[in-house]
Amino acid sequence: MTPALGATSLPEFRRRRAVVTGGGSGIGLALTERLVADGASVLAVDVDAGRADSVAAVGGRFVLADVSSPTDWDRVVQIAADDLGGLDLVVLNAGIPVLEPDPLAAPYERIARAYAVNVEGVVHGLRAGVPLLEDGGGDLVVVASLAGLMSYPDDPYYAMTKHAVVGLGLSVARPLAARSVRVTIFCPGVIDTPLVPEAVRTAVLAAGLDLLGPEDTASHLLEALDRGGTGRIWTSQAQLGLVEHQMTKVELPRPPVRAAR
């Protein structure tokens, strides 16, 4: 079962100071808009400078940065410290697909870039953001995917990266709780954004399912935060809404106790 520690309700989102990666489009932009509407100050981090106007239009502050770069992360948290006085919420949302179902045909450069953004971007964001979050307590959100909880033959290397960050989120929840930082692992299904391949979109619709809109996904993420606790995995789907996912509990074998001589 997924550990759920300290299941107290969170403070109001108003007046919160937040960093949202991948904040220039999709879930990140929708979340930035929602947080700003609730009174938060949001640094929307994105690698695409062309998305600055979209962020400004919803009231966020655009920060051009590559989440796979520790140096860029140092700059992001310095801006947060200098201009916001700290952080209450870090949402590690930036992610890219590989878009190749054949594991032998996928160009290694695409695999390496997806790993750098989807995994290293979470590692660097955690290490850079937690020192600001622990000053008064805060929330770290790892945005993974349903592909991180199941097999996903349409994009196996993307699934690999999402399985990795689900495992990381589960594993750091308890030690970060000691630093007053709560961890939420958020796993949305297929979201209606330009990143979704047409073949995947067609398959979802042919199965009688709907794609989830970025705005509804952002609402589910905020609802998951409002549920409290740490180390909890939440799935977000059009038909099912927000559902807590329970991992199978596996006990490690214990070595036999040697009798005293």
Out of 3-12, 107-116, 234-243, give the one with best mean pLDDT: 107-116
| pLDDT at res. 203 | 74
| pLDDT at res. 90 | 98
Q: What is the mean pLDDT of residues 99-117?
A: 97
Q: What is the mean pLDDT of residues 72-98?
A: 97
Condensed to tens digits (0 to 9), the pLDDT of residues 120-158 reads 999 999 999 999 998 878 999 999 999 999 999 999 999
Active site residue 108: no
| pLDDT at res. 251 | 72
Share of the chain above pLDDT 70, in %: 92
The answer to whether 225 touches 10, Cβ cutoff 8 Å, is yes
Instruction: Look up residue 33 and give its amino acid.
Output: E
Q: Which of 80, 81, 151, 145 is nearest to 119 (CA)?
A: 145
22: phi > 0 → left, psi -120 to 50 → alpha, else beta; which?
Answer: left
Is the per-residue pLDDT at 16 higher than 90? no
**Residues belonging to the chain:** 261
**How big is the chain by its Cα radius of gyration, in Å?**
19
The model carries a pTM of 0.89
Q: What is the mean pLDDT of residues 75-103?
A: 96
| pLDDT at res. 260 | 61
| pLDDT at res. 258 | 67
| pLDDT at res. 208 | 72
Active-site hit among 115, 152, 157, 158: 158
Average pLDDT, the chain: 90
Q: What is the mean pLDDT of residues 67-71?
A: 98
Return the structure tokens found at 120: 């290293």
CB-based contacts of 201, cutoff 8 Å, min separation 6? 190, 192, 211
Condensed to tens digits (0 to 9), the pLDDT of residues 175-230 reads 999 999 999 999 999 888 777 777 777 777 777 778 889 999 999 999 999 999 99
User: What confidence tier does 256 reach under pLDDT thresholds 50, 70, 90?
Assistant: confident
